[in-house]
Copies of this chain bind each other. A is one copy, B any other.
Amino acid sequence: MGPHETVEVTGHLMDSGILSRVLDDIRDFGGDYVIEQLDVGHDAHDPSSARITVEAADDSSLQRLLMRLQTRGVNQVSDGDAVLATAELDGVLPEGFYATTNLETRVQLDGEWHDVENPEMDCGLVVDAPSGAARVRTVPLTDVRAGMRIVVGATGVRVSVPQQDSEAAPLAFGDGEVVRDRPQAVLVRQVADGMRQARTDGKRLLWVAGPGVVHAGSVPAMVALVRAGWVDVLFAGNALATYDIEAALYGRRRNPDESAEGLEHGHEHEVRAVNTIRRAGSIEAAVAQGVLTGGLMHALATCGRRFVLVGSVRDEGPLPDVHTDVVEGQRAMRAEIGDVGYCLMMATQLYSVATGNILPATVPVVCVDINPAVVTRLTYHGTNPGRGIVSDVGLFLEQLALELVADYRRT
């Protein structure tokens, strides 16, 4: 028998399908397994538990398989302290580093368990003071510094998977119960309720938006939501901000993606709008100077809301507020997610994936896009209690504003 380890898992193993995914993982890594023990609750409401010995070809594969299994809430039975290694180069993790999930994670050091402070997927785990008041936090590759103490292997790491309830299923796919009445209206109302709950809990509301929000004519709905306090921070790219500002300066233009003839040379307004803001120095300065007097970015600036704009290779300009370095941009985004309690992703795959990469699994996410492939991709990315809604972002935002803003469309 090759290198092996015994793991255990508890919960609604049968009806959640976790067990079959665990066995899939084992096969994916070329491993093998023996089910040592399986206690099945007798009726539908009893939890089950399993104890499984997994085996892999070599120790490195075994460690990586154990890390994968943790994403299912399957942890080692006999875990001692985490093993640490020292990063030898800036920006490089040690061989065999523990690759994080965005789930709640604990690390055992000197026999004590420590919560990971900021769960984020695909990072390393750095231990700041290996003895005494040790702190454990995630570190992305770019922020690794030589000398950091990094967790290697899966030993001494435990991950908690949130109880999957039926709510976690993407709404557009049905939710297993009979819904007779106006599901689309119900969907919008559920999103509004989620936002109200986050607000009640003292959490911030994060929006991620693509230029489609402008093309769909949703700027008035977004402005109303900003003014009514339903947007705390916006993540976007140069395109959304530029189209919004261009529309504020020159009037709304056609959506280049949908036009039969496409864009041809229609960028001219866009570049001129960017140049105008560059002359002012920043969006905030343009608002202060009276150059920019309307639109979403204006509303954010005048209401004191935060926004993080991160560049992309196709940007024209870009606007002076844009982080042209994407790693800096990621850092700026991370700085804003600390107390986020609800996240709405509107019509952008690029920025939504980027946000999903850094968001803890505990933040509810709703993703709206007219392209089913984007919704599927985003909904299953990570383990957030996410809901994907295949829908027109324009009608969705219209209904959401009607739901949340008392006097919307009545002024």
Q: From B34, B43, B176, B399, give the contact of A42 (CB < 8 A).
A: B34
Would you call A324 an interface residue if the criterion is a C-beta within 8 Å of the partner chain's C-beta atoms?
yes
Q: Which B residues are in CB contact (< 8 Å) with A173?
A: 254-255, 258-260
CA distance in complex: A326, B93 (Å): 25
Does any Cβ of B come within 8 Å of A113's Cβ?
A: no
| Cβ-neighbour of A217 out of B179, B237, B316, B409 (below 8 A) | B179
Q: Which of A36, A44, A318 has the most CB of B within 10 A?
A: A44
Number of copies: 4
- CB-based contact A181/B35 at 8 Å: no
Whether A71 pairs with B265 at a CB distance below 8 angstroms is yes
> Does B35 contact A40, Cβ atoms closer than 8 Å?
yes
Interface residues of A (CB under 8 A from B): 14-17, 19-21, 23-24, 26-28, 32-36, 38, 40-44, 64, 67-68, 71, 89, 91-93, 97, 99, 101, 121-122, 141-142, 172-174, 176, 178-186, 216-218, 220-221, 237, 247, 251-265, 267-268, 270-272, 274-275, 278-279, 310-318, 320, 324-330, 333, 350-351, 353-354, 357, 370, 372-373, 376-377, 379-383, 390-392, 394-396, 398-399, 409
Query: Can you report 16 A-B residue pairs in the complex whose CB atoms are below 8 A from each other?
Result: A14-B35, A17-B17, A35-B40, A38-B38, A64-B268, A68-B268, A122-B316, A141-B316, A141-B317, A174-B255, A180-B251, A185-B409, A265-B383, A313-B350, A313-B351, A395-B396
